[in-house]
Amino acid sequence: MLKILQASPGGVQVKELSQRLECTPKTVHKEIHLMNAILPEQYALFAFPSAGKVKLTYKKKVSIDTMITMLAKQTLPYQIMNYLLHDKRYTIVQLMKELNVSRTVIFTTLRHMNEILTERYQISISTAPLSFVGKEEDIRFCFFVFYSAFGDNAIIDKDSERAASELINRSHQLGLDCLHFSHFYVTIWLSILKLRWQQRQFVILNEEMETNFADRRNFQLVSAFIKDYYRSFYSGEIPEGEVIWLYIVSLHCVSYTDAKEDTKYVYRRKEFPEVLVTIRQFLGMVFPQEMLENGALGKMEAFLVNVRLLSKMSARFELVAPALHELIKEMHEEHYLQWLECLESLGQDSLLSFSHPEDLAVSLTVLHVSVLKTEHSKPKHVLFALQGDVGMEEYIAHVVEQLIPKQLLVTYYIEQAVTKEVIQEKGVDLMVCNYDLNLIGETTCPILRLSNIPTLADWRRLQDMVAQLNR
């Protein structure tokens, strides 16, 4: 509802809202009054400026996502998850009193939550007393997905943001290869980890997991300051399995986007040679040999190295958000199905055996599209051929600067002859002109003919063609 109202500054008819939200007008009115009661008055107000209409009025600069988080914190699922995170082991009677709801409402809510938790994360909520049942690795991952979805890295603990910066900086100071970490991911993980350690909720890793990574030298260097971090907020010795868990889970925080700073980052740690050979053979099912050899697939290789080790700890690390799953299947179905087929062809004995090929196919498709973009990173070239009355050419050029993305190469031929040889020599991808060039049929690039004095409709056509050019 919030996003619909945000997109309609003039307001929306209650009837239209109810249709789009698939609920009754009475429910819309009820939800509006509830949001007005929950959200601080200094942030926003939902008003009914005219009969049958509702309008969102901002009183203070605040994002819709911030308001959604405020509202979410009042829901039963959020409060139950928060009790679980902070180890408040309430009985049903205590929950009824704490949440001020009936036994029926609590059991209905928990039943719905358990359906999702069991299917998605292989864990469940027990009511004797309130607690999670399942592997600690899966419980932590569930917490991560839940809290990171709000887009607020201080939603659990305000101190973890500072700790994340310190740990990342210390790891770089050790002289290790600098992994390009997502500061947001590191902060959320540290917030969860801090509470689970304080509650002495530790992971139990099998022997294979404790010896299943090649980067033992770097692990020894990192383990010392991981233990220091633990001692900074809790006394006692941290189990070795926890050090290994944190060292490996840091791979979940790797960002596969190029950093803008001068720092030279890497995207994975060391791996056994036989694993790298298997990964390159797998990527060779889709990409040509030269791309395997020239380093173009380095990030895809790194992702497979990282997710393989993470999935040994918990198969949940293979999962992606359902919304991303739907988006990628819809927008890049061909690549998605290609990767899914490749993943499903892997045998159980393969070093790349995974539990959730549908989710892995989504991640690989995202990286695949990025690789294609990098391969075609030469900027698209738009050539403008202009003529007109006094100042018209410069006026058009000024408008173009506001409309054309900066990553495109834009050049101008003002009052100059444009031939097919010029277009070919300059590698033009789109030709735009406000007079007849008489070149249609003689050049392979599209030509957009603007009006002699371009209109608003012309500019919209230009934006549409530029958008297609960037795909």
Of 179, 255, 180, 172, give the one whose Cα is nearest residue 221: 172
Residue 239 pLDDT exceeds 90: no
Residue 90 has a pLDDT of 93
The pair of structure tokens assigned to 421 is: 């040889």
Helix, coil or strand: residue 146? helix
Residue 433 has a pLDDT of 87
Alpha helices in 122-257 (DSSP H): 136-148, 160-173, 183-198, 207-210, 216-231, 240-249
CA distance 197 to 204: 13
Residue located via tokens 């689970």: 196
The pair of structure tokens assigned to 100 is: 């001020």
For 381-469, CATH gives 3.40.50.2300
CATH topology of domain 2-62: Arc Repressor Mutant, subunit A (1.10.10)
Q: pTM for the whole thing?
A: 0.73
Residue 101 has a pLDDT of 92
CA distance 265 to 249: 18
**What is the number of other CB atoms lying within 10 angstroms of the CB of residue 379?**
13
41: Cβ–Cβ under 8 A, 6 or more apart, which residues? Answer: 59
CA distance 54 to 46: 7
Tens digit of each residue's pLDDT (9 = 90 or more) over 37-63? 777 665 666 666 666 788 777 655 666
Tens digit of each residue's pLDDT (9 = 90 or more) over 159-186? 888 888 888 887 777 766 678 888 889 9
Nearest 5°: CA angle at 256, between 354 and 338?
Answer: 45
What mean pLDDT is predicted for residues 406-432?
84
